[in-house]
């Protein structure tokens, strides 16, 4: 037998084509990856089952003969479905269904004998097995040996991938387990015994080859812990490295810009704003670089907090950079910060205040002259505040003395981008990251675990509550009423947003009858789409013809909507305009300005307005095809209304939303508590994609942990404690080479994922 390590490529075990398929569909490249590929569930037949005594929900192992096999094409899917009828010596029958006949049709002829392993479901009155694991016998001896194995083991069921079925995967994993003689052990023994964890080799055996009385979940626990432990070690090292960096202390200056600004503030700071402000001032004055995450609901006043910190930095002779995720937002920050500063932003100019500074804007699309001016202002130190998009990160952008970097809406920036900006200081600058997406504790510990966190929990006084309602788009009366409400708000002098899921074509001019094949992305690998979802406790009924699916509807585009609204008599005379990402920057900027100035009544937009756009006079938002948006995104979106004194109204319009989507919308309508919604979001999404599609590259997401589960929160907290203690003792992991290797591997993956994302 070949001797392998966990780094060996899978081509050592399978044919090239299969290895490629495993890599493509499951991200499995090495033997180690295969070990981490855990079964979706286990079947525990224990003994041979008699065909006369089957019960729904029971895990069974049956030995039987194929009596009949029929394949047919399906109405809604491409490919064929295969139904096989099994029979035993006494004439009892059992149906077996494969939603994809591929690979089975050629083998399961009438007359062949074999065993079949799976969980009994029902279809109509008949019992059936869906996609069972099976093996056909050439002779009785072979059959007996196989049956013996199944009698004594729990049978792991893997999610299948194209041509490779669960049985083949299981055999592959077993061969791999037998071929690697030293399984990696990243968790040191003292930690294992303190936490009562299995060693990794034993855990892998339990997960992939459990005997009938074993508990695979104990093995899985260990793999979860591993994942958390490695992540936390990385974070602990990052934190440790940051602690050894020296920043220039920026001491507060009484009677400076900040004091002037505070004196002019038209409102009182909330208690939270004041407290966090004090923390920031203290951290700025320290010689350790600040590394803090500021989270708070949309409209909780984060920008004011950040601006005050920027002013403190300027008072101490430094500069501040504000990094925004989009041009719209950068431009808006520039506008609103300049406005808030008033004459304090006219540094060096006639009419400027005594301690004035200037605010520069730097974006990728601005004209050469404006750009040059901003670059110069940053490099000379004339600009105390430089606001921009990614353009700020580019090499040729220089600062005279960068003291503080503020990153708005962190979830769109990677660590790498933050680091690139940090490198622009003479010494590492202080970093403050702001996010309006509330971050549950598990995510805070996992993704932002190398930062300190502050949270603004109260909204400034005078903020009006937002009420949210779901509008059934299939009921004309409701739709009509929605547009009437918009018209009423406009009549009262307020403004509105209409948010659509796509841009569409400029010449789309009618809300046409939904053509087929619209926006819904169809699953790439059909076979998997048909796999029964074991995680839900196997609703093994798996009926092939699930009744007619709702017809695919074209998602509403901005231009289609615009045309429809223009044609709507209720909105006669209302000034409508579009805003989306494909407009040229000048148009975007001009449109935002016009909306902010009240020259546009209704802005028909894509999610470009999701982040930070602040027009207090906007009081109503209609989200069209709301079921196509995620919970957090909807919450973020509706934060655009109710920012002034008028109560905000958000109408979520949807047509034929599925059950899960309907539940999501109901939850959004039911609460305005962003933290609660973030938690709901995690639970409903179940896994992986915690970081939002934009940044959840493969390496960035988690494999075993489910960040929405309370049990896992404890695992992460434990691993965090252990990892931070270990790194405190051994920062470079010199005494923990296996852990160092695991850390390096994880970082490689993250790097690769980052590069893939571009
Ligand atoms: P965030 O960045 O958290 O979304 P902003 O800082 O943009 O919130 O604040 C939203 C609006 O509330 C702004 O118009 C801002 O001027 C105003 N605001 C901020 N703090 C207060 C406060 N303490 N009292 C009243 N209004 C405030
Ligand atoms: Mg903001």
Centroid of ligand 1 to alpha carbon of 633 (angstroms): 20
Centroid of ligand 1 to alpha carbon of 341 (angstroms): 14
Domain holding 78: CATH number?
Answer: 2.40.50.140
High-pLDDT (> 70) share of the chain, %: 85
Domain co-membership, 489 together with 627? yes
Element (H, E) at 402: strand 402-408
Find out whether the beta carbon of 300 lies less than 6 Å from any atom of ligand 1: yes
Domain co-membership, 590 together with 612? yes
Which atom of ligand 1 is closest in space to residue 612's alpha carbon? 4
Exposed / middle / buried, residue 333 (Cβ in 10 Å: 0-12, 13-18, 19+): buried
pLDDT at 549 exceeding the cut of 50: no
Structure tokens at 629: 């948006």
Of the two residues 534 and 399, the one the predictor is more confident about is 399
Find out whether the beta carbon of 407 lies less than 6 Å from any atom of ligand 1: no
Domain co-membership, 337 together with 476? no
Element (H, E) at 130: strand 126-130
| pLDDT given at position 527 | 24
Of 221-235, 397-411, 492-506, 720-734, minimum mean pLDDT range: 397-411
Which atom of ligand 1 is closest in space to residue 297's alpha carbon? 3
Find out whether the beta carbon of 455 lies less than 6 Å from any atom of ligand 1: no
Beta bridge partner(s), residue 468: 650
User: Of 304, 408, 644, which is best to mutate to test ligand 1, by the most ligand atoms within 8 angstroms of its C-beta?
Assistant: 304
Q: How confident is the model at residue 387 (pLDDT cuts 50, 70, 90)?
A: very high
- Does 346 map to a domain? yes
Proximal ligand: closest to the CA of 459 = 1
- Does 326 map to a domain? yes
| pLDDT given at position 143 | 79
pLDDT at 537 exceeding the cut of 50: no
Structure tokens at 520: 């819904």
Which atom of ligand 1 is closest in space to residue 302's alpha carbon? 3
Domain boundary residue, one of 119, 153, 187: 153
User: Of 273, 302, 303, which is best to mutate to test ligand 1, by the most ligand atoms within 8 angstroms of its C-beta?
Assistant: 303
Tens of pLDDT, residue by residue over 209-223, are 999 899 999 999 999
Domain boundary residue, one of 456, 478, 503: 456
Q: 45: helix, coil or strand?
A: coil
Centroid of ligand 2 to alpha carbon of 555 (angstroms): 29
Element (H, E) at 239: helix 216-244
Q: Whose CA is nearest to atom 20 of ligand 1?
A: 301
Q: How confident is the model at residue 531 (pLDDT cuts 50, 70, 90)?
A: very low
Find out whether the beta carbon of 296 lies less than 6 Å from any atom of ligand 1: yes
- Does 547 map to a domain? yes
Q: How confident is the model at residue 326 (pLDDT cuts 50, 70, 90)?
A: confident
Which atom of ligand 1 is closest in space to residue 296's alpha carbon? 3
- Does 714 map to a domain? no
Q: Distance between the two ends of the chain, CA-based, in angstroms?
A: 41
Q: What is the mean pLDDT of the chain?
A: 83
Domain co-membership, 425 together with 501? no
Domain co-membership, 573 together with 538? yes
Centroid of ligand 1 to alpha carbon of 385 (angstroms): 19
Which atom of ligand 1 is closest in space to residue 273's alpha carbon? 23
Exposed / middle / buried, residue 548 (Cβ in 10 Å: 0-12, 13-18, 19+): exposed
Highest mean pLDDT among 62-66, 191-195, 264-268, 448-452: 191-195
Which atom of ligand 1 is closest in space to residue 270's alpha carbon? 23
Domain co-membership, 351 together with 470? no
| pLDDT given at position 410 | 57
Distance between CA atoms of residues 14 and 186, nearest Å: 27
E-strand ranges in 155-273 read 155-157
Domain co-membership, 474 together with 336? no
Contacts of 728 (CB under 8 A, 6+ apart): 236, 240
Centroid of ligand 1 to alpha carbon of 463 (angstroms): 9
Distance between CA atoms of residues 353 and 334, nearest Å: 19
Q: Whose CA is nearest to atom 23 of ligand 1?
A: 269
Centroid of ligand 1 to alpha carbon of 269 (angstroms): 9
**If you search the block for the tokens 């949807």, which residue do you land on?**
654
For the four alpha carbons of 489, 490, 496 and 499, in that order, the dihedral sign comes to positive
Domain co-membership, 577 together with 452? no
| pLDDT given at position 756 | 53
Distance between CA atoms of residues 685 and 707, nearest Å: 10
| pLDDT given at position 260 | 93
Domain co-membership, 543 together with 400? no
Tens of pLDDT, residue by residue over 81-108, are 899 999 988 889 999 998 888 888 888 9
Find out whether the beta carbon of 457 lies less than 6 Å from any atom of ligand 1: no
- Does 358 map to a domain? yes
Centroid of ligand 1 to alpha carbon of 459 (angstroms): 8
Of the two residues 340 and 682, the one the predictor is more confident about is 340
Tens of pLDDT, residue by residue over 431-453, are 999 987 767 777 777 777 778 88
Q: Whose CA is nearest to atom 22 of ligand 1?
A: 460
What is the arrangement of strands in the sheet containing 291-296, beginning at the earlier edge strand?
A: 358-362, 383-388, 319-323, 402-408, 430-435, 291-296, 452-456
Of 182-191, 248-257, 742-751, minimum mean pLDDT range: 742-751
- Does 71 map to a domain? yes
Domain co-membership, 426 together with 333? yes
Which atom of ligand 1 is closest in space to residue 306's alpha carbon? 6
Beta bridge partner(s), residue 648: 466
Domain co-membership, 552 together with 438? no
User: Of 275, 277, 301, which is best to mutate to test ligand 1, by the most ligand atoms within 8 angstroms of its C-beta?
Assistant: 301
* Long-range pairs, 546-552, Cβ under 8 A, ≥24: 546/76, 548/76, 549/76, 550/656, 550/658, 551/514, 551/516, 552/514, 552/516, 552/517, 552/518, 552/520
Of 325-334, 359-368, 735-744, minimum mean pLDDT range: 325-334
For 661, the domain range is: 466-671
Centroid of ligand 2 to alpha carbon of 612 (angstroms): 4
Domain co-membership, 125 together with 89? yes
- Does 634 map to a domain? yes
Proximal ligand: closest to the CA of 301 = 1
Domain holding 654: CATH number?
Answer: 3.40.50.300
Distance between CA atoms of residues 387 and 226, nearest Å: 41
Q: Average pLDDT, stretch 317-327? A: 91
User: Of 268, 460, 461, which is best to mutate to test ligand 1, by the most ligand atoms within 8 angstroms of its C-beta?
Assistant: 460
Distance between CA atoms of residues 627 and 225, nearest Å: 35
**If you search the block for the tokens 């028909």, which residue do you land on?**
604
- Does 684 map to a domain? no
Q: How many CB atoms lie within 10 A of CB 732?
A: 10
Find out whether the beta carbon of 352 lies less than 6 Å from any atom of ligand 1: no
- With CA atoms as reference, report the closest residue to 429 among 402, 450, 408: 402
Q: How confident is the model at residue 383 (pLDDT cuts 50, 70, 90)?
A: very high
Of 49-58, 254-263, 616-625, minimum mean pLDDT range: 49-58
Proximal ligand: closest to the CA of 298 = 1
* Long-range pairs, 80-83, Cβ under 8 A, ≥24: 80/105, 81/544, 82/108
Find out whether the beta carbon of 303 lies less than 6 Å from any atom of ligand 1: yes
Find out whether the beta carbon of 132 lies less than 6 Å from any atom of ligand 1: no
Centroid of ligand 1 to alpha carbon of 614 (angstroms): 9
Q: Whose CA is nearest to atom 17 of ligand 1?
A: 301
Q: Whose CA is nearest to atom 26 of ligand 1?
A: 460
- With CA atoms as reference, report the closest residue to 126 among 97, 152, 98, 100: 97
Q: 580: helix, coil or strand?
A: coil
- With CA atoms as reference, report the closest residue to 611 among 442, 389, 432, 372: 389
Domain count, the chain: 3
Q: Whose CA is nearest to atom 11 of ligand 1?
A: 299
Domain boundary residue, one of 153, 174, 206: 153
Which atom of ligand 1 is closest in space to residue 269's alpha carbon? 23
Centroid of ligand 1 to alpha carbon of 300 (angstroms): 6
Report the residue count for the chain: 758
Which atom of ligand 1 is closest in space to residue 307's alpha carbon? 6
pLDDT at 477 exceeding the cut of 50: yes
| pLDDT given at position 87 | 93
| pLDDT given at position 677 | 83
What is the arrangement of strands in the sheet containing 576-579, beginning at the earlier edge strand?
A: 466-472, 648-654, 618-623, 495-499, 602-605, 576-579
Centroid of ligand 1 to alpha carbon of 393 (angstroms): 27
Find out whether the beta carbon of 269 lies less than 6 Å from any atom of ligand 1: yes
């Amino acid at each position: 037998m070949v001797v392998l390590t966990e780094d060996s490529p899978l081509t050592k075990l399978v044919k090239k084509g299969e290895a490629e398929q495993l890599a493509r569909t499951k991200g499995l490249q090495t033997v180690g990856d295969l070990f981490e590929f855990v079964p979706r569930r286990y079947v525990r037949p224990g003994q041979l089952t008699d065909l006369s005594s089957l019960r729904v929900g029971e895990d069974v192992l049956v030995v039987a003969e194929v009596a009949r096999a029929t394949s047919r094409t399906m109405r809604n899917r491409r490919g064929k479905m295969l139904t096989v009828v099994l029979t035993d010596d006494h004439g009892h029958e059992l149906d077996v269904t494969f939603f994809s006949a591929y690979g089975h049709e050629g083998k399961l002829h009438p007359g062949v004998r074999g065993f079949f392993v799976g969980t009994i479901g029902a279809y109509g009155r008949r019992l059936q097995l869906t996609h069972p694991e099976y093996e056909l016998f050439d002779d009785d001896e072979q059959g007996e040996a196989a049956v013996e194995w199944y009698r004594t083991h729990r049978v792991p069921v893997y999610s299948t991938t194209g041509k490779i079925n669960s049985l083949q995967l299981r055999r592959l994993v077993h061969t791999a387990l037998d071929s690697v003689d030293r399984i990696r052990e990243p968790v040191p023994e003292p930690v294992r015994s303190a936490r009562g964890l299995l060693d990794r080799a034993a855990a892998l055996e339990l997960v992939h080859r459990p005997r009938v009385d074993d508990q695979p979940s104990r093995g899985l626990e260990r793999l979860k812990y591993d994942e958390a432990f490695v992540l936390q070690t990385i974070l602990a090292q990052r934190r440790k490295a940051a602690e050894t960096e020296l920043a220039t202390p920026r001491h507060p200056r009484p009677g400076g810009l900040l004091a002037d600004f505070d004196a002019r503030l038209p409102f009182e700071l909330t208690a939270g704003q004041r407290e966090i402000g004090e923390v920031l001032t203290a951290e700025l004055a320290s010689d350790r670089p600040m590394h803090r995450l500021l989270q708070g609901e949309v409209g909780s006043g984060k920008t004011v907090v950040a601006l005050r910190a920027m002013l403190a930095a300027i008072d101490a002779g430094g500069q501040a950079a504000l990094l925004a995720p989009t041009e719209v937002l950068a431009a808006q920050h520039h506008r609103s910060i300049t406005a808030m500063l008033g004459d304090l932003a006219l540094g060096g100019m006639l009419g400027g205040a005594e301690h004035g500074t200037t605010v520069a804007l730097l974006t990728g699309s601005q004209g050469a002259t404006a750009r040059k001016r901003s670059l110069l202002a940053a490099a000379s130190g004339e600009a105390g505040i430089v606001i921009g998009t990614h353009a700020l990160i580019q090499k040729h952008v220089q600062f005279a003395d960068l003291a503080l970097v503020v990153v708005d809406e962190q979830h769109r920036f990677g660590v790498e981008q933050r680091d690139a900006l940090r490198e622009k200081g003479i010494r590492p600058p202080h970093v403050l990251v702001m996010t309006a997406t509330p971050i549950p504790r598990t995510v805070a510990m996992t993704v932002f675990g190398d930062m300190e966190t502050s949270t603004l929990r109260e909204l400034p006084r005078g903020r009006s509550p937002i009420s949210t309602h779901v509008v059934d788009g299939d009921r004309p009366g409701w739709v009509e009423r929605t547009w009437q409400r918009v018209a009423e708000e406009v009549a009262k002098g307020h403004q509105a947003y209409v948010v659509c899921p796509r841009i569409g074509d400029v010449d789309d001019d009618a809300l046409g009858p939904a053509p087929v094949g619209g926006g819904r992305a169809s699953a790439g690998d059909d076979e998997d789409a048909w796999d029964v979802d074991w995680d839900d406790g196997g609703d093994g009924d798996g009926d092939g013809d699930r009744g007619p699916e709702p017809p695919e509807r074209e998602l509403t585009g901005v231009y289609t909507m615009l045309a429809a609204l223009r044609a709507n008599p209720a909105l006669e005379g209302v000034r409508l305009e579009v805003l989306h990402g494909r407009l040229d920057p000048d148009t975007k900027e001009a449109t935002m300005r016009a909306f902010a100035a009240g020259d546009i009544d209704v802005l028909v937009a894509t999610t470009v307005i999701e982040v930070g756009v602040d027009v207090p006079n906007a009081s109503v938002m209609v989200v069209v095809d709301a079921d196509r948006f995620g919970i957090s995104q909807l919450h973020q979106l509706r934060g655009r209304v109710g920012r002034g004194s008028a109560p905000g109204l958000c109408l979520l319009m949807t047509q034929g939303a599925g059950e899960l989507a309907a539940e999501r919308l109901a939850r959004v309508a039911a609460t305005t508590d962003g933290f609660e919604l973030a938690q709901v979001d995690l639970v409903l999404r179940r896994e992986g994609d915690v970081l939002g599609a934009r940044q959840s590259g493969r390496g960035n997401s988690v494999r075993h942990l489910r960040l929405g589960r309370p049990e896992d929160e404890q695992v992460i907290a434990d691993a965090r404690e252990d990892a931070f203690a270990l790194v405190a003792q051994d920062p470079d992991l010199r005494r923990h080479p296996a852990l160092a290797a695991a850390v390096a591997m994880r970082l490689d993956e993250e790097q690769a994922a980052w590069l893939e994302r571009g």
